[in-house]
Structure 1
Amino acid sequence: MNYRHAFHAGNFADLVKHAGLLQLLARLTSGPPLTVIDTHAGRGLYDLAGPEARKSGEAEAGIVRLMRADRAPAEFAPLTAAVRKLNPGPAVARYPGSPWLISDVLRREDRYLACELRPDEHGALKALMRGKANVETLCADGFETAAARTPPQGKVLVLIDPPFERADDYPRIVQTVRAVRRRNGQAQVLVWLPLKDLETFDGFLRDLEDAVDAPLMAAECRMRPLSDPMKMNGCALVLAGAPDELASPLEAVCRWTAQALGEEGEGRVYRLRG
């Protein structure tokens, strides 16, 4: 597997994923303790001045443009605040991955389990999370870990964000969401997916609806028409057990990203069930 998120850190898909994640966490980090399981955590922090990011230019077209935007929706505020905290100067040189964002907002009584299968990426993640008493990192298969380690009771959020390099990533997501919900019927699951062609995405949604008995919500950010399946034409968030109140913030995030950063882009949020 040769995927390295350093090439893509801070791109439009990260803006959608991380803004949506922080909106959801804001609603979960009150009341009883929360457990978060991250199936594909990555290294947690990315150097936007490094050769990978500079070669792709995706951060320049994503987070850099967001940070310069005058009229971005308020729903981006938690993400832009986290980026400013990392970059006190005018340049955006570092970008926070999900482990950084999650661990920064969790309370002392909350718990975070971050899985990363690649040993070098996990080594960087473990070093980054060192000293955080409520954080555990594992160099392990995140799908298997989420299915096995989801607490049977209490508030749970599982974040699933694989690199989609394997042919079985889609069915494994469906299997994992089903296993998590069977262990804890109140668990919420947030899945990030690329949008290339409509049939692949629709097929995944059909499989998920057939396998999972839970309220389901989809948020699409189409950066361009889905006419070339060889391109990443957008991204989507699919949520199991999501609250209705999350629909409006997700729509604002997806719509702005698609229209401000895309080409004839559009964003929408809809219920599949629930």
Structure 2
Amino acid sequence: MNYRHSFHAGNFADLVKHALLLWLLERRQAAGPVTVLDTHAGAGIYDLTGDAVRSREAEAGIERLMAAAERPPRIEALAREVASLNPHGGVRLYPGSPVLVARRLRAEDRYLGFELNPPVLDLLVEALEPFAQADARAGDGYDQARAAARRAPAPLVLIDPPFEQADDYMRAADVAAAIVRADPKAVVAVWTPLKDLETFDAFLRRLAEAGAKGALVAEARLRPLTNPMKMNGCAMVVLNPPPGSEAAAREICGWVAGTLGDDGARAEVWTT
């Protein structure tokens, strides 16, 4: 695949995804041991002085977050993680979901991330080396996570594909629904870009047709969804959302849209 997340690391969509992921992990840990499954793990950690300089997306995302004078608690949680990776100040390193989760694991918790791209897998293995409870595996994350979920009671699953392949929306919906059908206690969070409503609505219909009811949809729209060639916003769709998810999503999406968005930006949080 041609997609390289190093160009996009630390952008507004990462902030939504990672702030909500940290909150979901905290909630699951409060209930007992947790296994986190990550279908498209990526490199684990990103140097924002590399590819990200060219896109300037981190400049408009995590750099603005870290410079903000006021941050609500669930945004502050992400800021603390980023600050701890940059002890000398600034924002040179940005953690992907593997490192964010691995740094929060207790002895009884586990993280398993899947990556299909061999060079990126090598980076992921290196990034997770300090964390005994975290592991990286090669392979198709959709199939691997679905199989791993059957062996991990009540997992927390992040489905976060690049949406570069034509069937990514379909496979993400089908795998998410299959996991919660097999384990009603599983929590599955699917990240998607928001380019146009037709594509996103088709994804939600696919989820419903696959049997996933009552999902929490958290949208952060930075601009109107009028140009399908641009990522105008992003969404996290959470199946089996734990109590408090709606309030957490409103705080996160509201801050990102309100602080980083253009005129007309808005957050929407609702249940299917």
Q: TM-score per shorter chain, which class?
A: over 0.9
Shift of 1:128: 1.4
Unaligned 5+ runs, structure 2: none
Match of 1:14 in 2: 14
Q: Deviations over 1:220-257 (max 9, x none)?
A: 00000011111110000000000241111111111111
Corresponding letter in the other structure for 2:182: R
Report the equivalent of 2:57. Answer: 58
Contact 1:216 1:238 in 2 (8 A): yes
Q: CA 1:152/1:137 → structure 2, altered by over 3 Å: closer, same or farther?
A: closer
Name segments (4+ residues, structure 1) moved above 3 Å: none
- 1:245 is matched with which residue? 244
SS where residue 207 of structure 2 aligns? Answer: helix
For 1:222 and 1:27, how far apart are their aligned partners in 2?
Answer: 26
User: In structure 1, what is the equivalent of residue 102 of structure 2?
Assistant: 103
TM-score by length of 2: 0.96
Question: Structure 1 length normalisation: TM-score?
Answer: 0.96
Could you say what secondary structure the match of 1:242 adopts? coil
Task: Select between 66-75 and 230-239 the one with higher mean Cα deviation.
Answer: 66-75
Which residue of 2 is the match for residue 34 of structure 1? 34
Distance, in Å, in 2 between the alignment partners of 1:256 and 1:133 is: 34
The aligned residue for residue 124 of structure 1 is: 123
Query: Partner of 2:248: helix, strand, or coil?
Result: helix
Query: Could you tell me which residue of structure 1 aligns to residue 111 of structure 2?
Result: 112
How many residues in Structure 1 have an aligned counterpart in Structure 2? Answer: 271
The equivalent residue for 2:93 is 94
Q: Is the 8 A contact 1:152 1:184 kept in 2?
A: no
Looking at structure 2, the residues matched to 124 and 202 of structure 1 have their Cα atoms a distance apart, in angstroms, of 35
Specify every segment of 5 or more residues in structure 1 that has no aligned partner in the other structure, as ranges.
none
Residues 196 and 228, structure 2, Cα contact 8 Å, conserved in 1: yes
Aligned mates of 1:31, 1:239 — CA distance in 2:
18
1:79 aligns with 2:57: no
- Cα 1:167–1:111 shift into 2, 3 Å: same
Structure 2: distance between partners of 1:67 and 1:156: 31
Q: Which amino acid aligns with 2:251?
A: A
Structure 1 CA distance, aligned partners of 2:255 and 2:131?
A: 34
- 1:151 CA displacement: 3.3
- Measure the CA separation in 2 of the matches of 1:72 and 1:213: 33
| Mapped pair 1:23 → 2:34 | no
For 2:57, the aligned partner's letter is E
Confirm whether residue 203 of structure 1 aligns to residue 198 of structure 2. no
Separation in structure 2 between the aligned mates of residue 215 and residue 95 of structure 1, nearest angstrom = 33
Q: Is the 8 A contact 2:176 2:190 kept in 1?
A: no
Decide whether the 8 Å contact of 1:177 with 1:212 is kept in 2: no
* Structure 2 partner of 1:138: 137
Post-superposition shift, 1:153? Answer: 6.0
How many angstroms apart in 1 are the aligned matches of 2:124 and 2:89? Answer: 26
Moved more, 219-228 or 207-216: 207-216
User: Please, which moves more after superposition, 107-116 or 123-132?
Assistant: 123-132
Aligned to 1:266: 266
Say which is worse superposed, 242-251 or 6-15, in terms of deviation.
Answer: 242-251
- CA RMSD, 1 decimal: 1.2
